[in-house]
């Protein structure tokens, strides 16, 4: 099944809108014309009826009350006149149809009705008036019914209806033929944009779409270029990640192979336990790298969910600090703690240990000899600072990238510590921020939101 066409969709919308506007406009115009012509028809009908009353009044004043029968010689016009104390007067022939409530419904205000006769309609007006009399009291009440055949008038209205109906239909036929051509021509820049997109992809990093010069398409081009930029950044990170992982794995496997081959060809005479211990250390470093990558992947994909529980923070932090002091013995690096943390924290101790352990381990591993790693605690955050003489402000943007290291690799450090700290802090809802001041790097972990 073919996907829906944008040109067809726009065409349908335009035709539908045109149909609604032209059809609605034609209906409104037809109603206005019909109303105006019906008003004019009734005015003409009333004028003819009032002419009859004038004739009646003249005849009464002249003493010849025979009625105006001789004046209606044309076909399609009839009347009936009823005056008090006088016989009814009618045209010859009489009206073919009369209202049921005639003459009781006749009043001083003219009343218009439409009567059905055969296949056509008749227009009628009835009203009452005072007629002067020479033989009776000064005036007497009369009621007049004037009927006229309105088939010619109805045919005129039907002709106008057809004209008003056919005009939008013809306009829609023209629109159906012209709009697709116009829409396809208008969408030509979109097709050109699609053609330019064919040459853009992972095989051509850095390539971007040029501006189209159209107000509607330029935002789309800008957003697409933003996506391309993020895609290039992601591909670069993945290539760096794959390169770093291959390097770390290959390095340790090469160490194991070299150790085995050297001992096989040129025995060093070391004890077996010492050789196995060295092999175990290399394997432990490789295992730590793989475990860190698995944890980082689970954190960033949302598979690792925090198991929050109340944690007495002061004794827990003291255990972390004591463990780190044991690691830095003999490195010439000190560790000092200032301030008081909150009494307790509702968090995941395992993930918090990932964050703090990597921050402390990274600070102590990269601090120069003779430096003191300073830790400041308060109710809202934990801050760790250490000297970083080789670090530049631009390097802070790369903190958290996998396998990134400013200095040559240290034993047991694969460049995953800060990436794990960022991912675990984000999973815990904490904020981790780094800045560089006076040659010292400062890491701030805000746990107030936890």
pLDDT (mean) for 204-214: 74
pLDDT (mean) for 190-203: 74
Place of tokens 């009734």: 42
Higher per-residue pLDDT: 288 or 100: 100
Most distant CA pair in the chain, distance: 162
The per-residue pLDDT for 122 is 92
Confidence of residue 59 (pLDDT cuts 50, 70, 90): low
Say how many C-beta atoms besides its own lie within 10 A of residue 412's C-beta.
12
Spatial distance between the Cα atoms of 57 and 63, rounded to a whole number of angstroms: 10
With b for 16 or more beta-carbon neighbours within 10 A and e for fewer, the 3-25 pattern comes to eeeebeebbeebeeebeeebeee
Spatial distance between the Cα atoms of 87 and 65, rounded to a whole number of angstroms: 10
| Residues paired with residue 141 on neighbouring β-strands, in sequence order | 130
The per-residue pLDDT for 63 is 56
DSSP assignment string, 106-143:
--SS-EEEEEEETTEEEEEEEEEEEEE-SSSSSEEEEE
Nearest to residue 82, comparing CAs of 140, 137, 124?
140
Q: Of the given ranges (128-137, 256-265, 322-331), which has the lowest mean pLDDT?
A: 128-137
Q: Where in the chain is the domain with CATH 3.30.565.10?
A: 309-446
Nearest to residue 419, comparing CAs of 362, 367, 366, 380?
362
Cβ proximity of 384 and 403 under 8 Å: no
- What does the pLDDT look like over 404-444, one tens digit per residue? 666 555 444 556 677 778 888 888 888 888 888 888 889 89
Spatial distance between the Cα atoms of 254 and 259, rounded to a whole number of angstroms: 8
DSSP assignment string, 280-343:
HHHHHHHHHHHHHHHHHHHHHHT-S----EEEEHHHHHHHHHHHHHHHSTTTT-EEEEEE---S
As given in the structure block, the two tokens for residue 431 are 């904020």
Confidence of residue 197 (pLDDT cuts 50, 70, 90): confident
The per-residue pLDDT for 113 is 92
Spatial distance between the Cα atoms of 210 and 193, rounded to a whole number of angstroms: 9
Q: Measured at the alpha carbon of residue 226, what is the angle toward residues 223 and 227, in degrees to the nearest 5? A: 90
| Phi–psi pair at 78, nearest 5 degrees | -140, 160
Highest average pLDDT, of 41-45, 56-60, 104-108, 278-282, comes from 41-45
Task: Specify burial of residue 395 (Cβ count, 10 A radius: 0-12, 13-18, 19+).
Answer: middle
| Phi–psi pair at 251, nearest 5 degrees | -60, -50
Residues in the chain: 450
Nearest to residue 62, comparing CAs of 140, 165, 131, 123?
131
Q: Tell me the average pLDDT of the chain.
A: 79
Cβ proximity of 337 and 300 under 8 Å: no
Q: Where in the chain is the domain with CATH 3.30.450?
A: 6-160
Radius of gyration of the chain (CA): 50
Question: Rounded to two decimals, what is the model's pTM?
Answer: 0.45
The per-residue pLDDT for 411 is 44
Spatial distance between the Cα atoms of 126 and 79, rounded to a whole number of angstroms: 10
Spatial distance between the Cα atoms of 310 and 308, rounded to a whole number of angstroms: 7
Q: Where in the chain is the domain with CATH 1.10.287?
A: 218-301
As given in the structure block, the two tokens for residue 77 are 């016009």
- What does the pLDDT look like over 356-401, one tens digit per residue? 888 888 888 888 888 889 999 998 889 999 988 877 777 776 676 6
The per-residue pLDDT for 271 is 81
Residues 6+ apart with CB under 8 A from 400: 418, 419, 421, 422
Kindly tell me the number of DSSP H helices and DSSP E strands found in the chain: 8, 12
CA atoms within 13 A on the CB side of 391: 24
CATH number at 6-160: 3.30.450
Highest average pLDDT, of 14-28, 70-84, 142-156, 195-209, comes from 142-156
Q: Of the given ranges (128-132, 247-251, 426-430), which has the lowest mean pLDDT?
A: 247-251
Cβ proximity of 175 and 15 under 8 Å: yes
CATH class as words, domain 218-301 = mainly alpha
The per-residue pLDDT for 74 is 54
Q: Does pLDDT of 39 surpass 90?
A: yes
Cβ proximity of 237 and 401 under 8 Å: yes
The per-residue pLDDT for 289 is 65
Nearest to residue 360, comparing CAs of 317, 297, 401?
317
Q: Identify each DSSP E strand in 105-250 by its residue range.
A: 111-117, 120-132, 139-149
Q: Does pLDDT of 73 surpass 50?
A: no
Q: Of the given ranges (47-51, 79-83, 127-131, 142-146), which has the lowest mean pLDDT?
A: 127-131
309-446, CATH topology level: Heat Shock Protein 90 (3.30.565)
The per-residue pLDDT for 303 is 67
Place of tokens 């698995």: 294
Higher per-residue pLDDT: 182 or 441: 441
Sign of CA dihedral 12, 16, 19, 25: negative
Spatial distance between the Cα atoms of 306 and 12, rounded to a whole number of angstroms: 52
Confidence of residue 70 (pLDDT cuts 50, 70, 90): very low
């Amino acid at each position: 099944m073919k996907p829906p066409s944008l040109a067809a969709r726009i065409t349908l919308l335009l035709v539908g809108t045109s149909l609604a506007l032209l059809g609605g406009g034609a209906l409104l115009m037809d109603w206005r014309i019909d109303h105006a012509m019906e008003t004019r028809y009734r005015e003409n009908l009333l004028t003819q009826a009032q002419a009859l009353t004038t004739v009646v009044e003249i005849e009464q004043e002249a003493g010849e009350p025979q009625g105006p029968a001789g004046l209606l010689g044309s076909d399609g016009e009839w009347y009936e006149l009823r005056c008090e104390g006088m016989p009814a007067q009618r045209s010859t022939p009489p009206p073919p149809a009369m209202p049921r409530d005639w003459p009781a419904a006749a009043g001083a205000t003219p009343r218009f009705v439409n009567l059905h006769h055969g296949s056509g309609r008749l227009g009628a007006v009835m009203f009452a008036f005072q007629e002067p009399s020479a033989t009776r009291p000064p005036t007497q009440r009369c009621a007049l019914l004037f009927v006229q055949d309105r088939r010619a008038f109805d045919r005129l209205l039907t002709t106008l209806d057809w004209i008003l109906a056919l005009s939008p239909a013809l306009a829609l036929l023209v629109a159906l033929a012209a709009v697709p051509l116009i829409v396809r021509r208008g969408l030509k820049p979109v097709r050109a944009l699609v053609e330019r997109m064919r040459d853009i992809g992972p095989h051509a990093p850095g390539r971007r779409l040029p501006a189209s010069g159209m107000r509607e398409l330029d935002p789309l081009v800008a957003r697409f270029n933003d996506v391309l930029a993020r895609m290039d950044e992601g591909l670069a990170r993945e290539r760096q990640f794959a390169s770093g992982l291959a390097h770390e794995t290959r390095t340790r496997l090469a160490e194991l192979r070299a150790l085995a081959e050297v001992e096989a060809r040129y025995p060093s005479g070391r004890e077996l336990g010492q050789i196995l211990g060295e092999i175990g250390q290399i394997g432990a470093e490789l295992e730590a790298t793989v475990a860190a990558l698995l944890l980082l992947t689970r954190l960033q994909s949302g598979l690792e969910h925090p198991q929050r529980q109340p944690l007495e923070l002061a004794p827990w932090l003291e255990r972390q600090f004591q463990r780190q002091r044991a690691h830095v013995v003999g490195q010439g690096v000190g560790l000092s703690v200032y301030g008081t943390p909150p009494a307790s924290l509702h968090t995941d101790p395992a993930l918090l240990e990932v964050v703090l352990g990597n921050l402390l381990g990274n600070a102590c591993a990269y601090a120069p000899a003779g430096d003191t790693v300073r830790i400041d605690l308060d109710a809202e955050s934990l801050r760790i600072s250490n000297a970083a003489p080789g670090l530049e402000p631009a390097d802070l943007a790369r903190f958290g990238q996998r396998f990134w290291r400013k200095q040559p690799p240290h034993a047991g450090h694969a460049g995953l510590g800060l990436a794990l700290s960022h991912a675990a802090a984000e999973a815990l809802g904490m904020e981790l921020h780094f800045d560089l001041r006076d040659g010292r790097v400062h890491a701030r972990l805000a746990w107030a939101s936890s």
